[in-house]
Structure 1
């Protein structure tokens, strides 16, 4: 009986020690996670040396923390840039009004009102674009419905007023995608506005199917975009010097919104090299 009790005690101690060693990495991970706050996402949990489920869990946790930290950095940068773009013109307008009120008899008030109205309209455009991006960031559950991409493109082109640059079309029928029609229409409008600002003689819109993918391209024969700038233009508030010159009232958010709309449809928006000019390409899955 005594020998049995001793054996049971030894076995119990062994099991306790084994379980303790097994759970120690979990305790270490818990302690590290407890140190994480919304203002400091730099911590990472320790990854055990042995290959098992706990190592896999630690790896997944660290990957998730990496994504959260990157998202927080983007949010902080976006907030800072939005504040700057909204605050600077407002401050300038206030200073102009204060200076004008110091000597109101010498001020051309109709001209000043027209200039200030132009600035207010630009701020309104920025605010609307910021709200659109915020909605896209917060809710990716777009109202999808089966849509003929060529038909949608044709309908949007009919709604546009004639512009400085003519628009040519190469629309393949039967390219059916599942999409939020309003969002894709917004994307197409932004791409067309951008293309017509930069085109030299023509803009071409094309729709086609490639395997199980619907493809929408908007091409302009303008000066094109240098390779090193082809990702920068999709960043929020990014504006190249040529863009600022051609469209001083632009918000720098149009292409960022387009890319977010593409991502909301499990698609991509990229720039492909046409040899001359600029070719923006939307790819999204065909509907089942």
Structure 2
């Protein structure tokens, strides 16, 4: 109630007899306290929010400064500067992990670009050689028709044309395998493919052991798997001294196709490199003996596309043994 113009809080209590105790307390102090608190809140809350915003901006900005440096470094890396790397901070936190991941990605891009440049260079060299041979014989036949006959020139053009065709077809197949397209997967009897290669090589007068071939079915493109086995067989014949063996052995959930020879074998240091494109070992530098250097690369690509892998180790005769591992199918 209001007493003499002042708001007061009144409390009453009955006591002994007919008496009542009445206590009135002025509310001016409470009003002043509330006004003071409201003023403090009106000033302190905006100041506190401003302080929190500034602190957050400084802390987040400092935390993200390494990210900005990483962004600037990556933004400046072009195709001809793939050797550059992002600085890794010594904080051992997520920013350092991000920088390490970026450097790993740059390593892979650099390796891919280097491999692509080497591939283009090797392909250009392989394609240039038959063309140069054709051009040389054509120029010789034109300048000295009495030396080179039309039949000899036609034979050279035909042979080198077939070599060019083989290289181009191999390059196109590798491109298809890299894209993972163009394959018709179905159930394939791997033993039938192996036996077909044994018969083909025996018809050519070669000593081939096919006693280790057992029934096994895999899932893949029959044409590509046939080319894989033929590439391995041709490679074995090319390097053998007279003996070649082909085997198909199912074991557990996988089947192992082996092609081995009694040649010089593959040194341990070269066993990963021989599956690269246009790679020939020292004994196979001759183009006539060593092919174009794409056969084993194609075999590895086909094996990968079929869900398997291809390795090489020592054969029972000290030569090379190529082992194709594929998952079995019912």
Whether 1:111 and 2:156 are equivalent positions in the alignment is no
Compute the displacement of 1:82 (Å). Answer: 0.8
Task: Report what 2:19 is aligned to.
Answer: none
Task: Report what 1:181 is aligned to.
Answer: 222
Whether 1:221 and 2:262 are equivalent positions in the alignment is yes
Residue by residue over 1:2-51, the C-alpha shift from the partner in whole angstroms, topping out at 9 and shown as x without a partner, is 23322221111111112212222222222122112233322333334334
In structure 2, the gaps of 5 or more residues are 1-41
Residue by residue over 1:43-82, the C-alpha shift from the partner in whole angstroms, topping out at 9 and shown as x without a partner, is 3333343344433333222222211111111111010011
Q: Find the structure with the greater CA-based Rg.
A: 2
Compute the displacement of 1:155 (Å). Answer: 4.8
Mapping of 1:1-288 within 5 angstroms? 1-139=42-180, 142-155=183-196, 157=198, 162-169=203-210, 170-173=212-215, 175-244=216-285, 247-248=288-289, 250-275=291-316, 276-287=318-329
Q: Is the 8 Å Cα contact of residues 177 and 286 (structure 1) preserved in structure 2?
A: yes
TM-score relative to the length of structure 2:
0.77
Change (3 A) 1:81 1:92: same
Compute the displacement of 1:190 (Å). Answer: 0.5
Q: What's the secondary structure of 2:79's corresponding residue?
A: coil
Q: Is the 8 Å Cα contact of residues 254 and 325 (structure 2) preserved in structure 1?
A: yes
Q: What's the secondary structure of 1:272's corresponding residue?
A: strand
Distance 2:182 2:150 in 1: 48
Compute the displacement of 1:186 (Å). Answer: 0.9
* Greater Cα offset, 44-53 or 151-160: 151-160
Distance 1:177 1:106 in 2: 56
TM-score relative to the length of structure 1:
0.87
Change (3 A) 1:209 1:24: farther
| Larger RCO (CA within 8 A; separation ≥ 6) | 1
In structure 1, the gaps of 5 or more residues are none
Q: Is the 8 Å Cα contact of residues 213 and 247 (structure 2) preserved in structure 1?
A: yes
